[in-house]
Every structure is written in C-alpha cells, then in structure tokens.
Structure 1
Amino acid sequence: MNKLKYTIICAMTLGLFGYSQTNNLTSSPYSLFGLGVESNSGTGRNSGLGKTGISLDATYGLNLYNPSSVATLRPDEFFLDVGGSAELVSFSGSDTDDYQSTYNFTNVSVGFNSDGKYGLAFTLKPSTSVGYSLIGLQSNVEGSSDEFVTNIEGSGGLNEIRLDYGRTYFNNLNVGIKASYLFGKIEESESILTTNSFLEVNEVNYYRGAQLGLGVQYNLLDKHAFGFTIDFPTVLKGTKDVVIGKYSNLAYTLLEETEDEEIDSFDMPLKLGFGYSTKIKNLMLTADYTKNLWSATNQSDAIGDYVDQNIYGFGASYSVDPKSFKYWKRVDFRMGLNYNSGYLMVDDTKIDTYAASIGLGLPLGKRSLLNISYTLGKKGTTESILIKEYVNTLNINISLSDLWFQQRKYN
C-alpha cells in the first residue's frame, strides 16, 4: 500500500512540475518588472488568514511560512498538500480597461514526522510568475514619417524546489532550516511590423541559484506563539538565448542567433519575518510582519527602482468545537487582511497591494482538510503611467493526513 502511495505522489509531482514550467500563473502587467510578480502559492489555511503563518504550527497541515513548523507534525504523520488557484483580474488605466483570467496548480508538498524526532517537508511551487502583453505600440521611424507597430509578450517565471527540516527542543521551542533551489526561464517575444517587413525578436532568460533560510517558533503557556524567520540574500546567475529573424517578401532571414550568453545576475534580498498568534477558546488571532531589504541589493529595473518592502498580515479563525462529532461544528472559518508595500518604485510611486480574504477549512477526516479561500485585492494606481488592478483569487487546497511508518502489531 505504501508503495502505491509513493507512486501516486511521484506522478503528481512530475505532472505539476510540467505545469509550473509551461503555464502562466498571472496576467498582471506588473510582471514585466524584474523576475515577475511574487507567486500566490501557499499551503493549507494561510491564504484565508491574510497570508499569515510565521507563528502557526502544523495542526491544520503543512505551513510553508516557517520551516520550523514541520517539527509539530504528529509522530509518524504524513501530509500531502496540493493546491490550485484561479484569478480574475480587471485592469484600469488612463486609456485602457480589460479583464483577464488565469488558473493553474500552485504547489505540491509532502511532509512527515519520523517517530516524533524531527519533521521533514519537500515542496515544489512557483516563486515568481510572468504573463504580460503590450499590443499595438505605435512609433515613428527615426528621420521619417513612416510608422511601425510593436507587439511584446512575456511569459514564464521562477520555480522553487524546497526542503524544510525542523526539530522541537524543551517541548515549546521549534527550530527549522530550509534549503531552496530557484530556477526557471522568462521568455519575451517582440514583433515589429512595418509596411514591407516583419521583424521578430525572441529572447529567453534563464536564472538559477540556491537560497537558505532559518525559522524559530516559541510557545508560551500553550496560549501565545511567537515566530521568526530569516531568508539570507543570494545571487541568481543568468544566461540568455536570442533569435532575431526578419520576414520580407514572404522570405525569412535569420539575422542573429546566440545561446548561453551570460547576463547580469539577479540579487535576492535579505528577508526578515516576525509573527504572533494567540488562542482565546476556539478563536485564534494571528499577525505577521515581513521586511525585504531590496534597497541593499543596489539594483534597478529599466522602468523603476527597487525599494525596501514591508508586508503586514492579520488573520482570525474560529470553529465551534474542533473535537465535535458534528461536521459543521468542526469547520474552521477564516478571514484576513494583508498590505504589501511592494518592492518597485515607478515614477516616484510605489506599487502596493491591499487585500482582504475569507476562507473555510472543511474536514475530510480526523486531520485532513479541504481549504477554500477567496481574496479580493487592489494593486497599483491609475496615476501617471501606472495601471490599477482588482484581483479576485480563488484558492483551493487539499491537505491529506495519514499515519505511516508504524510497525504492525499482531496478537
């Protein structure tokens, strides 16, 4: 039976890996900047709690917001967590209004606790996502009255393979470490149309690099929980492939082709996170603060500058009686608020995001859950050259629990 479970998990992992490499997880024009927009992926209940979780344990499933939380999985417990996300985004600007929808898998995670000694989790998920289109940009040929039209499309993003390890000390202190490998490609296709010819430029940028992080959780009087995380800065190495071709009089001419050309590395910043949660009977309140020190990377985008990023999250969950035999008394009701200052300054304006979420944790057994959340977010502004986005996000996440590794007993 265990071999069958392992086979299913491996097949799902490989399938989701393929999706993460080929499908866009965003339609945001802001994914034009840097390595794209930060992924919406997550596990379990976090999406319904305003993206908080630095101080939360693994009572309701795997928690990727703090690697030390895997230490709180029950002895011999095995978790499989699979998530999906759908987005409907409305755009508004000085001269545009549009709607776009995207959907895809957002994560696959497996975790277990070996005989209560330590917790271990393996995750594959998107880290950033790119999906933008700039259609019908008109310009004049220099020194002439002739016009040409440019169309630009971008896709891809980075993926993250991640290993979390956590142990418990003194019964109330959890310590964890995570090791991540970031990799992926960002494709940009540019076509330039004139009255007599068609120029096509295809550029694919590849990035890769490793990153380490630490996490700590401390429980006080079984009522208050504190959490701290740190992701150390790292450098992602990059290369690019470029193909430039021209169509004229129905004939194609290859003008340039290069492979594995080195490009500027991309610096990932130092990230610090602080979390607190408390329980009041069956009500849980949680709050997180994260600071990403982008300004210390001393890098800039062609259109904007990188600035320090501040993220505030607040969440609450309530269940009537988690131990009841009645189904709806065990349902976990959730809500949350989140503010993200953004890490890009464009035309002296920060691209920030406000979001509110609601969610449900529907029991599928003693420890398994179907997690559903809806988030409404507002990103950007219509000032200057910027675009305002209203993002409707539906997250569906299945967290399945089972007891493994136990020896069978015979009378």
Structure 2
Amino acid sequence: MNKSKCLTTFAMLFLLFGYAQDNNLTSSPYSLFGLGVESNSNTGRNSGLGKTGIALDAKRGINLNNPASFASLSENEFVFDFGGSAELMNQYTDNSNEQDLTSSFTNISLGFNSNGKYGMGLTLKPASNVGYSLTGLESNIEGSNESFTTNIEGSGGLNELRLDYGRKMSKDLNLGIKASYLFGKIEETESISTNESYFDITEENYYSGFQLGLGLQYQFLPKHNFGLTVDFPTALQGSKDVRIGKYLNSAYSLLEETNGESIDNFNLPLKVGIGYSTMYKNLLLTADYNKSFWSATNQSDAIGEYIDQNIFGLGASYSKNPNGLKYWDRVDYRMGLNYNSGYLKVADKNIDTYAASLGIGLPIGKRSLINLSYSLSKKGTTESILVEEYIHTLNINISLSDIWFQKTKYE
C-alpha cells in the first residue's frame, strides 16, 4: 500500500464525506425529533456482528466500539478503513406505505501502532441523520373560510470527528480514551401557500461540542475477554439562522432575517457499555450491552418524551484458518442480532428497533479485507398513528492494512 497514495485517498474521501453530509442520509419521519435518528454507521466487521465489539480487538480491522482496542493493532501496523451503506426503507401506516432509497458514508478512519505499546486512530463519521418530509398539511385561516397548505422538509445531521488512543498496560489489560468533536447543521424549510400568496420559512440550526469517553479491555482467562466503555455527558451549544420571505404577484420580498441567534443547548447523556467475547476453536462469540441515561438530561420535545435507552447485541463469526494459505480458509463468516429500545416515547409507545445481520470478510492479500454485510431491521409501530419501518441495509467496507514505520536495513 503506497503511503502517499493512501494519504491522498484519505484526504479526498474526507472532502467527499463532507459533500455527502449535505444531502439526506435517511428518510425516516422519526428524524423529526431532536438531532435526528442515530446513525447506523459502523466499521465493516462490527456491522456483521450485530454492532457488537466492546470486547473485540482490532486485529481484523479498526474497532470503533472501544478506544482501548487500538492498543491491539500490530506493531508498526497502519490501517486505512472506509466504507458506505445503502438503505432501502419501507414505511407503513394504517392506510398507506412508501418506499425510499438513501445512501451515505459510514466512516473514514486511520489507525496506527508505531511501537507495539500504544495505538491511535482518527475517524470522521456521521453521528445523526435528518431527512423528513411532511406535505399537503391543510389548515383553516382563523376567522375566515379560506385555508392554507403547509409543506415541511428537514435535512442534515451531526458529524463526529474523533481521536482514539489505546495503550497496553500489561499483557492482559488495555486502556483507552477518545475525544470527539460533534458538529453539524439541521435545516428545516416550511412553505405556506394560500390563494393569493406564498410564504417561505427557512431555519438552520447549528450544533457543536466536545465529548470524552474511556474504554477498557481485559483478558481474564485464555480466550475470554471483557470490555467496558463510558461516554461522559455533555452539552452541545446551538445557534440558528432564520429567513422568512413572501411571494406576492410573482414578486419576492424578505420579511425577516436573523443570524447567529442562540438556542437551547442539546444535552447528550451518560452512556455505559459492557461487552464479552470468547473463542471456541475457530468460532468467535460476542455480546454487548449499552445503556444511555437520556431521562437524566431533562431534554424535552413537543411531541415525544426522552427515556433511558437499552441496546443488546449478539454476534458470531467463523473462519476455518485465518492464517492459512488457502483463500477460502481465511474468509470470515459473520452473523448478529440487535435490539434497541430507543430513547423516544411517542403517544406512549417506545420507538424500538429489532435487527438481524449477516456478513462476510473477504481477504485482500495478507492483511487487508473487504467487508460486506446485510441487515434487516424493524422500527416503530403502526399503532397510535405512528409509522412502522422495515429497513434493508447493505454495508460495504474496505480495511487496508500494511506495515509502516520500519527502518530500511542495508547489508
């Protein structure tokens, strides 16, 4: 893997990632709440394992589920990891159904370990996605027989720029820390039309802030591993720009414009995760549990209620001989299950998600992988005028690994 070509590609993908984030990366009506729906972004191996990985190392690709995993990168190893996903979403209500296709980057990551004692990583990935559309809302003008029609569209989301550091404290213990900068824009456009005029209201909300997290991985018995993560609560600062315009007789006039107006902070919760993994011959088994204490943030929403979130994940993978000479002996086969209780309650119903995944890791040369995974998930319900979603997700991830930082030897 040529170093200059790798770094040039990394820079180009960063630019493409920023361009892609300006477009809708979801079509879920639940992205109307808060900062949008949580991003499904993950690295290739973890996507096929039910999004588990708190107790997994980084020997088969970067693992963003625990910063301590970066300490397990091989000595002098450099990893370049990037990927994308496509979602086909079917939405059902009591009397209608819709289908939408969206796509996005999942992550762009660099990881390295220069001396075998510590590993570091730099990642850019989406943190939340917004992409909703409410059209044809009819209302009456108070005190008159006339009516007006409202169309509302939302787009944008938050990005996470993240630095990870993992250090090997002993043969069996790795500790890690991560520092994330969260930033992004959520735009809502509302158009109101009557028989005589047309109003256009655009509101752009900007959020940014830092969040810290810690991680631990410990091998307490041969082939038995334990992982722990903590993400500390933080507040994202917000501001908004508002522009209101009016069209009358084909002439446009700007009625109001404000920039940089302060809005309420958005509070992110304390999050705690524990994980376990074990090897039985060539079969890897892994399990994760994450809890986010949203109820302690005192967040409020006009439509929904924030509640504590619980996420359970199970995963399994099998490779006949990861270090073998035969190609198909080194292929990694994966499967996983995931349940997310959600952090929103709307009309007294939890917006929860059930998901199942299948994945495969195809070797490229000695150290690199192409990771493919497919997942089917069900979110929400048709009860209480809500929306039920069935989401087909295809993830494609490339993990390129090489040995750098070695001195050239001359005879």
Give how far 1:62 is off. Answer: 0.3
SS at match of 2:366: coil
For the 8 Å contact 1:90–1:97, the answer to whether it is kept is yes
Does residue 350 of structure 1 match 2:384? no
**1:104 paired residue number:** 104
Q: What's the counterpart of residue 49 of structure 1?
A: 49
SS in 2 for 1:51: coil
CA shift at 1:385, angstroms? 2.0
SS in 2 for 1:127: strand
Separation of aligned partners in 2, 1:32 and 1:5? 38
Q: Which amino acid is the alignment partner of residue 375 of structure 1? A: S
What is residue 288 of structure 2 aligned with on the other side?
Answer: 288
Question: Where does residue 17 of structure 1 map in the other structure?
Answer: 18
Which amino acid is the alignment partner of residue 52 of structure 1?
T
Identity of aligned residues (%): 65
Aligned ranges for residues 12-411 of structure 1 at < 5 Å?
A: 12-20=13-21, 22-411=22-411
Q: Which amino acid aligns with 2:370?
A: L
- Give, as a single letter, the amino acid of the residue that structure 1 aligns with 2:223: K
Separation in 1 of the partners of 2:48 and 2:276?
17
Q: Report the alpha carbon displacement of residue 324 of structure 1 after superposing the two structures with TM.
A: 1.8
Distance 1:299 1:5 in 2: 43
Corresponding letter in the other structure for 2:10: I
State the 1:145 CA deviation.
2.1
Q: Which amino acid aligns with 2:53?
A: G
CA distance in 2, matches of 1:118, 1:392: 38
1:210 corresponds to which letter in structure 2? Answer: F
Amino acid at match of 1:331: V
Structure 1 outlier segments of 4+, above 4 Å? none
Q: Which moved more, 1:8-17 or 1:342-351?
A: 8-17
Alignment check: 8 A CA contact 2:236 2:266 kept = yes
* 1:90-138 Cα shifts (integer Å, max 9, x gaps): 0001232100000121210000001112100000000000001001111
Distance 1:9 1:222 in 2: 37
Q: Is the 1:83–1:396 contact (alpha carbons within 8 Å) kept by the matching residues of 2?
A: yes
Q: Is the 8 Å Cα contact of residues 213 and 231 (structure 1) preserved in structure 2? A: yes
Give the letter aligned to residue 259 of structure 1: N
Amino acid at match of 2:334: R
Partners of 1:201 and 1:245 within 8 A in 2: yes
Deviation of the 1:7 alpha carbon: 2.7
Q: Which amino acid aligns with 1:10?
A: A
Are the aligned partners of 2:207 and 2:239 in contact in 1 as well (CA < 8 Å)?
yes
TM-score computed with the length of structure 1 as normaliser: 0.98
In structure 1, the residue corresponding to 2:143 is in which secondary structure? coil
Aligned length: 410
Question: How far apart are residue 295 of structure 1 and its match?
Answer: 0.1
1:5 deviates by 3.1
* TM-score using structure 2 length: 0.98
| CA distance, structure 2, for counterparts of residue 14 and residue 142 of structure 1 | 49
**Cross-structure match for 2:3:** 2
Query: CA offsets, 1:55-94, max 9 Å, x none?
Result: 0000111000000000000000000000100000000012
Higher deviation after alignment, 5-14 or 380-389:
5-14
Distance in structure 1 (CA, Å) of the matches to 2:104 and 2:170: 41
> Secondary structure in 2 aligned to 1:139?
strand
Query: Match for 1:209: what amino acid?
Result: G
How far the C-alpha of 1:167 sits from its partner, in A, is 0.5
Query: Shift of the alpha carbon at 1:369?
Result: 0.5
Q: Which amino acid aligns with 2:113?
A: N
| AA of the residue aligned to 1:205 | N
Contact 1:17 1:124 in 2 (8 A): no
1:248-277 deviation digits (Å, cap 9, x = unpaired)? 111111111000000011000000000001
Note if contact 1:161-1:181 (Cα within 8 Å) is conserved in structure 2. Answer: yes
User: Aligned with 2:358: secondary structure?
Assistant: strand
Structure 2 residues not aligned, in runs of 5+: none
The amino acid across from 2:160 in the alignment is: E
Q: Measure the CA separation in 2 of the matches of 1:152 and 1:39.
A: 22
Q: Deviations over 1:167-222 (max 9, x none)?
A: 01121101000000000000000001111111110000000000000000001233
8 Å Cα contact 1:50-1:314 kept in structure 2: yes
Cα distance in 2 for partners of 1:92, 1:218 equals 45
Question: What is the root-mean-square deviation of aligned Cα atoms in Å?
Answer: 1.0
Secondary structure at the aligned position of 2:120 is classed as: strand
Given residue 276 of structure 1, which amino acid in structure 2 is its aligned partner? Y
What SS is found at the alignment partner of 1:45? Answer: helix
- 2: CA distance between counterparts of 1:263 and 1:159? 19
The alpha-carbon deviation at position 148 of structure 1 amounts to 1.0
Alignment partner of 2:216: what SS?
strand
